[in-house]
Amino acid sequence: MNKLRIGIIGLGTVGSGVYKTLEDIEMVEIVKIAVRNLNKPRSVEVPSSLLTDNPYDIVNSPEIDVVVELMGGVEPAWDYISTAIKNGKHIVTANKELLAKKGEELFNLAEEYNRVCLYEAAIAGGIPIIMPIKTILAGNKINKIQAILNGTTNYILTKMDACGASYEDVLKEAQALGYAETDPTGDVEGFDAAYKITTLATLAFKKRIKLENVYREGITKIRKEDMAYANEFGYKIKLIANATIDENDNADVRVHPMLVSQESMLAHIDYVTNAVAMSGYPIGNIVLSGPGAGEFPTASSVVGDILAIQAEYGTTDYVLPMMRCHHEKNANPVLIDNTFNKYYMSITAPNAIGVIAKIGTICASKNISLASILQRGVTDDNTADIIVITEKCQEKLIREVVNELDNCTVNSIIRVAE
């Protein structure tokens, strides 16, 4: 059997894991690896003859069958991948940002040149999710996804909850341990999870989701007090990638913190673990959980994609037809103001007669019912914390309530998962 000849662009954490894993697999040959710095010390010993600092040595090489892109970002990754496809090469990528921003263009190009692009590692690291949806779950109509897709934010929120610590303190610890980047914006502001849910929802719903229609909100405003109050009400706070679609193809896709019931499985997905919960017909509810990042978990998904191509390479003129993208229609985006949710609100208000009644009256004027209300402690400045959880209502009405709460400070508004 002829070996599948691959070129790898990027030899960071994931690239190193892929190299180590492929060393024991005989049917794959690594022809060339592109790196930024040929002299950089690495965690893996690679023969210098395999290394190049010019990715075009890979994407233009007639000796390479598959390009494995592990560098991330949109440019120059897109140029390398598109060039490789035009040169007749299949693609394996872990690049969630590229998929979210240029997925339609990427898959159309791959189909035009009869190449396949696999991306199992781009959504949930080591959790198998793309291949199961495309194969064993292909007969299902999936209409809801709730997922924890970012290990950094899940670690921070878990530590805040377990230790009663502030966001700022836990972030510093996460950075020291290597769980958070020096610039954590991509994770803590929800960009990473937004990229992932864009592609995952497109795949699961069989309708294209545009990144610009995905609402995004990070965890930087979550306070340790919110963690404590959530526990009192029987919840945990998680950064949730949420997507639903109705029978008219109206898709509500967003990323933001949510209160999830302590009785739910997602409430117990802690630290850097990821999970994807999906609902559909006829499967009902299903949860897949595991390591969402890291050297070997992510390498596991990358190598799985490589071997899927290897199994069919040279045996057919149309490799892996089930894994191709054939989404021709866009979903109808649901704007966040038009969504319906339950809400947790933390309000600092003057400790005066009628304040709670005023909050109730304003909510009632918007036809918003209150499920729970709690007052905690009077401070030296004669204010008190009032915690409200509403019944389901429209987002834009909650914003109107906030605007009418004179002489009150709304510390937090967090949606409540169902």
Which helix (H) or strand (E) element contains residue 218? none
- Strands 332-333 and 284-291, bridge-based pairing: unpaired
Six token digits for residue 232: 């009192």
Residue 119: closest CA among 94, 148, 156, 90: 94
| 209 backbone φψ class: left, alpha, beta (φ>0; ψ -120 to 50) | beta
Q: Residue 267 is inside which H or E element, if any?
A: none
Query: Could you give the CA distance from residue 361 to residue 384 in angstroms, rounded to a whole number?
Result: 19
DSSP E strand stretches across 282-405: 284-291, 332-333, 340-350, 370-378, 383-390, 393-394
How far is residue 66's CA from residue 51's CA, in Å, rounded to a whole number? 16
Residue 32 known to be catalytic: no
Q: Torsion angle, CA of 119/121/123/128, rounded to 10 degrees?
A: 100
Q: How many of the other CB atoms lie within 10 Å of CB of 157?
A: 23
Which class for 241: exposed (0-12), middle (13-18), buried (19 or more C-beta within 10 A)? buried
What's the CA gap between 219 and 233, in Å, rounded?
20
Residues 32, 101, 159, 196: which is the catalytic one?
Answer: 196
Residues forming the active site: 196
